[in-house]
Amino acid sequence: MFQGHPYHSLQVPSDEPFKLKPSPGKGWGAFATRRIERGSIIFTEKPLFVIRKPHTEITEGYVWAAFQQLSPSEKEQFLCLRDNGSRSFTYMEEAFAENSFAISRDNSLRSQGTSIHGLFLLHSRFNHSCIPNSKIPNTDQEIITSFATQDIAAGHEITFCYNTDFECRLRHERHQALRFVCDCKACLIDTQFQQLSDMRRTLIRGLQYLTLGVDLNGQKQQMVSPIIFDPYLKKAAETFQIPLSARLIYNLFIIVLLEEEGLPKNNFISEALLQALLGDSERILCEELCSMRFTT
Ligand SMILES: C[S@@+](CC[C@H](N)C(=O)[O-])C[C@H]1O[C@@H](n2cnc3c(N)ncnc32)[C@H](O)[C@@H]1O
């Protein structure tokens, strides 16, 4: 069924640690061909082409103009891209939106805080997970690099998170933003892990509010269904009246919750912070609280 698939024309250099193949229910994806250590670089990629426009201004005309500049083999590679590995795109604009990443800020757009966008043939084959094992950080160059956030065993799919604030978003909010139904461990409905995942992500959002005084959109929350119910605590957070020591503890809780969720920031740092900032009895209590409430 997949033998004549157009993605066979997408060349992954032989020394890279992954290959492309079908990923059940998700079209195609990237799979590790050898073990990839946490923290190591997976792949660095140059864009096929770049459009120096803010996301909202990229029209069919701009993509067509950029396409005209490509060599015949590059044109072929762009045209082979599929929506979820099967259906061809109707518009070039759609193909660009689905397979591009925001990259370095263009000088003329810098004042507007807007990025330019590059089309990346291979990194855009990586599927999404709400508990990913890789990350593609923002860059100030026109290349993008992925690195492993977890150890990835040979044969396992390499995934990254398509959105930046998903660690604070519930399953249904994530799916609304993605416009597809993710099937990762945090999204598998009616599982204990999924229910705990929603609880953890709500708690992380609340703890972040207490620490930063604003919600994910950078705004104070309205009183209708606030994330922090206690109006005094909410006011204290918004006016930065919460003591530094308390904010440190909230941050530690965030780190522990992220680790429980499978989204470790850095085990070493959280371990060190726990050791450094809490006494033995508080640390044990903290660990017990976390395992009591969040073990699956
Ligand atoms: C940029 S493409 C990723 C590569 C794509 N699978 C392919 O075959 O070319 C993004 C699309 O892949 C699919 N996809 C990615 N992650 C997924 C996931 N976790 N669950 C289901 N579908 C996913 C969705 O259809 C999404 O619109």
**Tens digit of pLDDT for each residue in 83-125?**
876 788 999 999 999 999 988 765 555 556 567 899 999 999 9
Prediction ipTM score: 0.99
Beta-bridge mates of residue 18: 32
Neighbours of 38 (CB within 10 A): 14
Rg (C-alpha) for the chain, rounded Å, is 22
Neighbours of 102 (CB within 10 A): 15
Ligand 1 pocket by C-beta < 6 Å: which residues? Answer: 25-29, 82, 84-85, 98-99, 124-125, 127-129, 180, 182-184
- Neighbouring residues of 83: CB distance < 8 A, sequence distance ≥ 6: 27, 89, 94, 98
Higher pLDDT, residue 112 or 134: 134
Whole-model pTM: value is 0.86
Token duo for residue 60: 């069919």
Token duo for residue 64: 């067509």
Atom from ligand 1 closest to the CA of residue 183: 20
d(CA 121, CA 143): 12
Which residue type occupies 43?
Answer: F
d(CA 46, CA 141): 10
Domains of the chain: 6-162 (2.170.270.10), 185-295 (no CATH)
Could you tell me the CA-to-CA distances from 138 to 78, 85, 101, 209, 249 in Å, in that order?
A: 23, 26, 9, 24, 28
pLDDT, residue 292, reads: 40
Atom from ligand 1 closest to the CA of residue 124: 1
Cβ atoms of 144 and 112 closer than 8 Å? no
Q: What are phi and psi of 134, to 5 degrees?
A: -145, 170
Centre of ligand 1 from the C-alpha of residue 42, in Å: 19
Among 7, 26, 98, 181, name the best residue to mutate to test ligand 1's pocket (greatest count of ligand atoms within 8 A of Cβ): 26
d(CA 229, CA 205): 13
| pLDDT tens digit sequence for 239-280 | 999 999 999 999 999 999 999 999 987 554 555 455 545 555
What's the average model confidence in pLDDT over 2-22? 88
pLDDT, residue 251, reads: 92
Atom from ligand 1 closest to the CA of residue 27: 8
Indicate which residue's Cα is closest to atom 22 of ligand 1. Answer: 26
